[in-house]
Structure 1
């Protein structure tokens, strides 16, 4: 399989990058769209992207202001980011989508599913944020520190922190306020598409109670816990996450995809 093709796409005056893999075996619809979290980029999604692209049409996005994309003139809301994702996929002729978000990207996935319910077949929330019962910047930062020290691999930490440097503190903290204020519990209840919540079993940021609660609030929700990893589950356990996504959505062929999905129904 060839490397994804990087495309520069502007939506409503905001420039981002889309990394497209369309040379998958046999072709399939809908396409899978991967959305990074705060401060990050497509880089920590590359393993999952590569594994998914063997079975389904797959896209990863560097949202405006992140990765190597230019910073917008003003702070973008979650709704702005969702409009970028949907607009970019529309420009590429992608009609039906499985949205897969990580961390803050889960908020954008939910918002896009609200904006265009007819285009979204499934939503996957990996390490969703922010639990309002622990919804302060200090507590979130403490959980992030614990995750990095005890539950992440050297490669996941390297990817995350070098992307944080590329993002820069100004844009990071402007976006952090947006992330902290997004009402996940209210928004997930209005999503009609089936929702899979995925967490690393050691994740202190998206803990088990919070993820179980979110899955229960979805109209068709399911929880998948992946053992032996923390918040950046899609990098450290990419194969298990790939198989979970394919089994839940019914897309492609993966080892064990025909078996019942691991984890617990909501």
Structure 2
């Protein structure tokens, strides 16, 4: 028995050593465990000469929720949020072209082009109607999709979305206008820590060597992300004229301490939307589905219930815990 115990200790120690020496292996293992917890599988599809990678889970005959990530992000952003939804819905979290595991051709990545790529992906999936969720740039794309294809969208949820001119300029906008750099682009691995502090009020806990690996990976893509960001600015499509075209009930969910896109954006959006609901999360940053996945999922589930039972309406308040 003592020999067995020592053998197990050696195995655990060896595994820990492998993970420490090879953080990419650790990351892949963590993501696999998160996929299993969320009931999702990693799938791939060819759409218009592009390889689109995505997570899919939940009953195939249930209503579909499609999740669209933000700038310099990927489908992994939705894993902990999705686990609260995959029992009752078919959940799909995609890597937009240009991000994650999907194709990254030298092409256009403005929100208008990406919205049409999402439409082609949805068509290839064989989904006629769906619930849409988008965060940041993904929210801009989701809102544009809902305006262009209103009959396809059952509901729309926008988490700290881009695309509107906020009355109060965010710290990101102020930095870009003053020429002091873009904190969303990791130029060198050490910038990754600052990115986390900028995006979150309470950044996710990550082992140091894993954080270093993610920083190296992000900095290796910095030039690619810079080109995409420049396209987003140069080919900007404002949402203000598009929002009145959205017919679906729409949830505006925001972190009240978002430094990337200011919460005052809601003041612009709410009067332009035919069926708005608002949730503002206290002490939360730019990506609530990562920072507070369970709370965010509960607010989203309440919103979904309100779309079928209006008397149980989603919260419409200035701030919620």
Please indicate, yes or no, whether the TM-score normalized by the shorter chain is above 0.5.
yes
Q: How far apart, in 2, do the equivalents of 1:112 and 1:158 lie? A: 34
DSSP-derived class of the 1:186 partner = coil
Mean Cα deviation higher: 183-192 or 137-146: 137-146
Deviation sequence 1:131-158 (CA, Å, 0-9, x none): 4354566159469968724714134895
Out of 49, 72, 89, the residue aligned to residue 13 of structure 1 is 49
Structure 1, unmatched stretches of 5+, are none
- Describe how 1:132-151 pairs up with structure 2 within 5 A: 132=165, 134=169, 135=173, 138=176, 141=182, 148-149=197-198, 151=201
Q: How far apart, in 2, do the equivalents of 1:2 and 1:248 lie? A: 21
Mean Cα deviation higher: 139-148 or 176-185: 139-148
Number of aligned pairs?
258
| TM norm structure 2 | 0.70
Q: How far apart, in 2, do the equivalents of 1:95 and 1:166 lie? A: 39
Q: How far apart, in 1, do the equivalents of 2:175 and 2:151 lie? A: 35
Preserved contact between residue 6 and residue 20 of structure 1 (Cα < 8 Å)? yes
Q: CA deviation at 1:230?
A: 0.7
Preserved contact between residue 302 and residue 314 of structure 2 (Cα < 8 Å)? yes
Deviation sequence 1:177-197 (CA, Å, 0-9, x none): 333323122222322222111
- What corresponds to 1:187 in structure 2? 242
DSSP-derived class of the 1:189 partner = helix
- What corresponds to 1:206 in structure 2? 261
- Describe how 1:29-178 pairs up with structure 2 within 5 A: 29=63, 31-132=64-165, 134=169, 135=173, 138=176, 141=182, 148-149=197-198, 151-155=201-205, 162=215, 165=218, 168-178=221-231
Mean Cα deviation higher: 144-153 or 64-73: 144-153
| TM norm structure 1 | 0.83
Q: How far apart, in 2, do the equivalents of 1:54 and 1:251 lie? A: 19
Q: CA deviation at 1:12?
A: 2.1
Out of 28, 51, 76, the residue aligned to residue 62 of structure 2 is 28
Structure 2, unmatched stretches of 5+, are 1-36, 186-193
Name the Cα RMSD after superposition. Answer: 3.3
